[in-house]
A = this chain, B = another copy of it.
Amino acid sequence: MVNPLDATDVILKILAGEVRAASRLIRNLEDKLPGAKASVMALFPHTGRARIVGLTGAPGAGKSTLVDRMISVSRKQSKTVGVLAVDPTSPFTGGAILGDRVRMKSHGEDPDVFVRSLATRGALGGLSAAVGDAVHVMDAMGKDLILVETVGAGQQEVDIINHSHTVILVLTPGMGDEIQAIKAGVMEIADIFVINKADREGAGRLENELTSMLNMVSEFPGHWRPPIIKIGNAGDEEAFARGVENLAGAAEQHFQMLLNTKLMDERMQRKAKMELREALHHILLDPVLNDLAESGEMERIAIRIMKKETDPHRASREITRKYLDNIQASLRS
């Protein structure tokens, strides 16, 4: 139910699926405008219906093409789609390049496909929180499927992708060396492995490496052994389409498995904890950091640290003492 106090125009418009209102709120969240968070809080009770699928993988692995085709598969089933493109490796473009790629392809004119990219400007570690909020907005808009696309497999990307029900890791042949280095981190988060460009040399070796890696796992949660989906070159239309169908099928199976086991609860609890940590960061730390930056105090303290007149730990204790009152005041507002 919409709380009468929160039943502002923008909330109702977003719940009705209006693109302009949703775009504006996502932009306001990125820009950390006051009131944006309150809108997400008002939308929160109306979320939880969308199916959220995360895709990650190295740059050049072909994620955007896959996203484009997964949209097509969903649209054929009359599902509405939201796409969120995030590129934490690039502080300048944000996910703009990824997002534009998708937008420029087949779905630019489709009103039931909503594509947004998130910039990382000024995020200071708050990128995952911004992703979570943008996903909530798309969810509240009524999108059936939300695709979150990101680059890489570091901790930040893991946080971003942990907003999803199902995580797809896109690999390409010729990554032999890399797989050794990333496997420990990725094993934990990938529900489905894709070998993209599987017509290339080395696809067999990559599949073997993934298989032996999976063979080392003694027990999979929910008995879900992550499948390895091979997808051929996008040039070979028929083989490519078949691969994407297989991928969509595997994602559907994974979602059903979550529903049929206690894993959905576990995963949603993990997501809730992550969002709680991010919200605490927003309330406890952001006001202090913003004020320090705007007042020029950050600059002055940095110079004192450089001159060894103080050290970061000592300075932060002094700052905290000073700011506790401000935080208390912000809680009353």
Chain A contacts to B: CB under 8 angstroms: 37-38, 40-41, 44-45, 48, 58-60, 87-93, 97, 120, 123-125, 127, 132, 151-158, 174, 177-178, 180-182, 184-185, 188, 265, 268-269, 272-273, 275-285, 288-289, 298-299, 301-303, 305-306, 308, 311-317, 319-321, 324, 327-328, 331
18 intermolecular pairs with C-beta atoms under 8 Å apart: A37-B313, A41-B314, A44-B308, A60-B177, A89-B153, A91-B155, A92-B184, A154-B154, A174-B174, A269-B302, A269-B303, A269-B306, A276-B298, A279-B316, A280-B319, A283-B320, A285-B285, A317-B331
Q: Among B88, B91, B283, which residue has its beta carbon within 8 angstroms of that of A316?
A: B283
Choose among B60, B268, B305, B312 the residue that contacts A181 (Cβ–Cβ < 8 A).
B60
Report B-chain residues with C-beta under 8 Å of the C-beta of A37.
313
Residue in B45, B154, B284 whose CB lies within 8 Å of A88: B154
Closest to A120 in B: B155
Tell whether, in the assembled complex, residue B41 and residue A313 are in contact, meaning their CB atoms are under 8 Å apart.
yes
Q: A302-B273, A317-B331, A320-B280 are in contact. Are A89 and B181 (CB under 8 A)?
A: yes
Question: Which among B97, B284, B306, B316 is the interface contact of A268 at CB below 8 angstroms?
Answer: B306
Docked-complex contact B306 and A151, CB < 8 angstroms: no
Chain A contact residues: over half helix, strand or loop, or mixed?
helix
> In this complex, what residue of B is CB-closest to A284?
B284
**CA separation between A275 and B188, bound complex, in Å?**
30
Chain B nearest CB from A258 CB (Å) reads: 13
Check B289 against A277 for contact (C-beta < 8 Å).
yes
Report the Cα distance A313→B41, complex, angstroms: 7
Given A88-B155, A305-B275, A320-B331, the answer on whether A178 and B60 have CB atoms closer than 8 Å is: yes
Most buried by B among A132, A158, A276: A276
> Are A312 and B48 in contact (CB-based, < 8 A)?
no
Q: Is the Cβ of B317 less than 8 Å from the Cβ of A283?
A: yes
**Chain B hits for A93, CB < 8 A:** 184
Query: Cα distance A305–B324 when bound, in Å?
Result: 27
Cα distance A303–B59 when bound, in Å? 36
User: Which residues from B are CB-within-8-Å of A174?
Assistant: 174
| Smallest beta-carbon distance A98→chain B, Å | 9
The distance in angstroms between the C-alpha atoms of A289 and B87, with both chains bound, is: 27
Closest Cβ neighbor of A320 among chain B residues: B283
